[in-house]
A and B are shown apart, each in its own frame.
Chain A
């Protein structure tokens, strides 16, 4: 029955409703993954258990969507539509997010190293300063590589395909 390709399977209303369910299903999967990660961490602690599987599921879904929407020429359209409605462009928000995330992590690492390993105020400031500087360079680079470059590549690829589709 599932593989016969019945006529009712082509009903646009059914397809629309199915797509709506699949959309909700994605959020159910993400919720279960985060719930599983939260339970594992709360029961076993950070070091006692691996959360790689859950993290990989969530990450793979995001990467798959980015690649598919980019190759369908949809991603640049989404960005364009979002930018028309929003006060700040996605590019600005992304730079802001990468900056905030990089500074926050560098601050955490700097404070942690000053509190944990330094002796006396002068050494605390020195540890904080050096760790903060190294961390900010490292994390800004890391987030740019992890988020910024895939975003720019997906957007430019999507724009190229969208233009090609319009020409045809």
Chain B
């Protein structure tokens, strides 16, 4: 399932996939795959992404 919340939060922060990738220390492809729902990130990476986008885990990774 696509992670639309993460993509929206990234765009709100005015960050490209490459810029977010650089901030959290992964490749651009990894960010792309997380947004497409094709890769399940570890909790550590989820927390790094949340910090970079100023969001909580619930905001980005909890599905209602």
Query: Which A residues fall within an 8 A CB radius of B?
Result: 7-8, 10-14
Contacts and interface: CB of A to CB of B under 8 A. Distances in A.
14 contacts: A7-B25, A10-B26, A11-B25, A11-B27, A11-B30, A12-B30, A12-B42, A12-B45, A13-B26, A13-B27, A13-B30, A13-B39, A14-B27, A14-B30
The 8 closest A-B pairs by CB, nearest first: A11-B26, A13-B30, A8-B27, A11-B27, A11-B30, A7-B25, A13-B39, A12-B42
Contacts of B45: 12
Contact of A12 (B22, B26, B29): B26
Number of contact residues on B: which range applies?
A: 10 to 19
Interface of B: 22, 25-27, 29-30, 33, 39, 41-42, 44-45
Contacts of B29: 13
A13 B25 contact: no
B41 A12 contact: yes
A18 to B, nearest CB: 13
A7 B52 CA distance: 17
Contacts of B42: 12
A12 B31 CA distance: 11
Nearest to B41: A12
A12 B30 CA distance: 9
Contacts of B26: 8, 10-13
Nearest to B42: A12
A13 to B, nearest CB: 5
B46 to A, nearest CB: 11
Of B22, B30, B33, most buried by chain A (CB within 10 Å of CB) is: B30
A12 B41 CA distance: 8
Contacts of A12: 26, 30, 41-42, 44-45
Contact of B33 (A7, A8, A10, A13): A13
Given A11-B27, A12-B44, A12-B45, 13 more contacts: A7-B22, A7-B25, A8-B27, A10-B26, A11-B25, A11-B26, A12-B26, A12-B30, A13-B26, A13-B29, A13-B33, A13-B39, A13-B41
A151 to B, nearest CB: 32
